[in-house]
Amino acid sequence: MTNKRFWNKLIRLLRKDWAVAALFLAPSLIGFALFYLIPFAMGFLYSFQDRTVDGSFVGLDNYIALQASTSFRKAASNTFLFTSVSVPLIIALSLLFAQLLNQKLYIRNWLQTAFVLPLVVPVASIVMIWQILFDWNGTLNAVLQSFHLERIDWMKSEWSMAVLIIVYIWKNIGYNIILFLAALQNIPKDYYETADIEGAGKFHKWIHITLVYLTPTMFFVILMSIINSFKVFRETYLIAGGYPHDRIYMLQHYMNNMFLSLDVQKLTAAAVLMVGCILVFVTGMLTIERRFRNFME
């Protein structure tokens, strides 16, 4: 009788929407907790200890040592420079190409395929393409030599940051274009027709109609672009190795090198600082987006 009552309660519970949702989400939530939340929480605790095994609490000593590290300051400044340059560029270019693809073009399907193709190409293939282009004996240097110009060691000079920005834009622009194009196609055509009747120009329509309705998508695209800018380590590592030129020595390189040297305290402190900065920026973006949505309503 007890078993029957238990199964009846279980069946009634599973008929509720929240219980079904929790049941389907449980595998993902468990995996996220095991491989992300719990390791990060442990790393957060290690960042306040002098060692991982039987460590004692040392307060902010690891963070102070991190701020005094020249390599960390170099990595942080390079990461900030890369994000502050590459994200506005990819936003502007993806919006421009989305506007272009929103028109009736003969080669529209070909262009859509070309922009989306980098999303499905493996990283190893991407690295091979850019190595062929920017190697000392690569395609670009061959072109320069044909014009009787000196070769450039692209990945071991100040040009390395520009190369990394180009690789990042090429790899991620297709995703942003898809989002912008979907948002453009969801803008009601009646607004443009009304603006035409009232004699509004193209620039006026773009500012007061297109840009206004693209703003929610813009916030999301900026957020995803910033997150993707922190994932460029794979390409940089495969192209330039673990110790690249100083111009493209990123926070991910620093943390990878701290891991190889088993300096867990600096590794976890750097990871906590990076995650904290990302969370602050994401929270600010979400707050601005929520206020803009309330203003529009």
CB 224 within 8 A of CB 297: no
Q: Is residue 52 part of a domain?
A: no
pLDDT for residue 58 is more than 60: yes
Distance CA 70, CA 187 (A): 50
Question: Quick one: average pLDDT of 260-271?
Answer: 84
Distance CA 218, CA 179 (A): 9
Kindly report whether the global pTM for this prediction surpasses the value 0.85: no
Q: Is residue 57 part of a domain?
A: no
Residues 78 and 121 reside in one and the same domain: yes
Residues 40 and 68 reside in one and the same domain: no
Q: Is residue 54 part of a domain?
A: no
Q: Would you say the C-alpha torsion 174, 180, 186, 190 has a positive or negative sign? A: negative
Residues 158 and 281 reside in one and the same domain: yes
Q: Is residue 262 part of a domain?
A: yes
1 pLDDT band, cuts 50/70/90, is: very low
Residues 84 and 166 reside in one and the same domain: yes
Residue-wise DSSP of 239-272: HH-SS--GGG--HHHHHHHHHHTT-HHHHHHHHH
Residues 233 and 104 reside in one and the same domain: yes
Distance CA 103, CA 107 (A): 11
Q: Is residue 90 part of a domain?
A: yes
Q: Is residue 56 part of a domain?
A: no
Question: Quick one: average pLDDT of 49-58?
Answer: 77
Residues 210 and 245 reside in one and the same domain: yes
Residues 226 and 261 reside in one and the same domain: yes
Distance CA 244, CA 74 (A): 12
Residues 68 and 17 reside in one and the same domain: no
Residues 73 and 26 reside in one and the same domain: no
Residues 39 and 171 reside in one and the same domain: no
Tally of structural domains, the chain = 2
* AA letter at 59: G
Q: Is residue 53 part of a domain?
A: no
* Owning domain of residue 28: 1-46
In this structure, what CATH number is given to the domain that contains residue 226?
1.10.3720.10
Residues 133 and 206 reside in one and the same domain: yes
Q: Which pLDDT tens digit goes with each residue over 221-239?
A: 988 888 888 888 777 777 7
| Phi, then psi, of 49 in degrees rounded to 5 | -120, 160
Distance CA 222, CA 281 (A): 11
Q: Is residue 55 part of a domain?
A: no
Distance CA 117, CA 174 (A): 8
Residues 282 and 170 reside in one and the same domain: yes
Q: Which pLDDT tens digit goes with each residue over 26-48?
A: 888 888 888 888 888 888 888 88
Angle at 176 between CA 172 and CA 178, to 5 degrees: 115
